[in-house]
Structure 1
Amino acid sequence: MSGIDKKFEKATEIVKTLPSDGEDKPSQDEQLEFYALFKQATVGDVNSARPGMMDFTGKYKWDAWEKKKGMASEEAKTKYVQLLKTKLEKSSDQEQAKKLLEQV
């Protein structure tokens, strides 16, 4: 497993533990960006039809992923890790954020 693969794996674990409410909760845009980069890194280009018009969440997720079309897996992993680092650097709990940053 390469260095970026290890960092990406750890970053995905950390993202799952981010708060679901409060000031440190990822914004909807950040959540979509994490989703799109994760899908591009693990699946590649979007491989399904765009969801129907009443599936708003599905459409937003699909559109975010579609914007990553052509991005290499390694680049998506690197951007995912960087997005997490940026998010943690803005955290209100700097002590906890510092511990998490040391892991990626």
Structure 2
Amino acid sequence: MSEKDLNTLFDEAFANAQLIPQESVPQDMQLVLYGLYKQATSESTNKLYFQNPQDLRNAFKFNAWMQVKHISADEAKTQYIELINQLMAERNIKS
């Protein structure tokens, strides 16, 4: 798969994610998706952008990202696409 194809599929998956009711996705899955998205879209995992690390919500988000920091951006995109497609299928949502 070429990089353009992967980026197109990733963009489509991100758009499709907006169709999934947030309350229907468990919070732990939301954090996994956040971590994958952050890893897929961050140019460098050495740059950390969290305004208030004392905030519990940001701490969970940071942890979710650190759980996937070892994978490449392309692998993060692939996993994100697969999870969004799975969530849409489980909820019978058509894009």
TM-score (norm 2): 0.83
Deviation at 1:20, TM superposition (A): 3.2
In the other structure, the counterpart of 2:9 is 7
Q: How many residues align?
A: 90
| Distance of aligned partners of 1:15 and 1:46 in 2 relative to their CA distance in 1, 3 Å threshold | farther
Task: Quote the residue 1:56 is aligned against.
Answer: 56
Gap runs ≥5 in structure 1: none
Structure of higher RCO (CA pairs closer than 8 Å, 6+ residues apart): 2
- Distance in 2 (alpha carbons) for counterparts of 1:20 and 1:86: 15
- State whether residues 20 and 88 of structure 2, in contact with CA within 8 Å, keep that contact through their aligned partners in structure 1: no
Query: What's the secondary structure of 2:83's corresponding residue?
Result: helix
Structure 1 moving runs of 4+ over 3 Å? none
Aligned partners of 2:61 and 2:82: how far apart in 1?
A: 20
> In 2 relative to 1, CA 65–29 (structure 1 residues): closer, same or farther, beyond 3 Å?
same
Question: TM-score, normalization: structure 1?
Answer: 0.77
The alpha carbon displacement at 1:37 in A equals 0.5
Tell me: CA distance 1:57–1:46, structure 2 relative to 1, closer, same or farther (3 Å): farther
Partners of 1:83 and 1:46 in 2: CA distance: 25
- Per-residue deviation at 1:47? 2.3
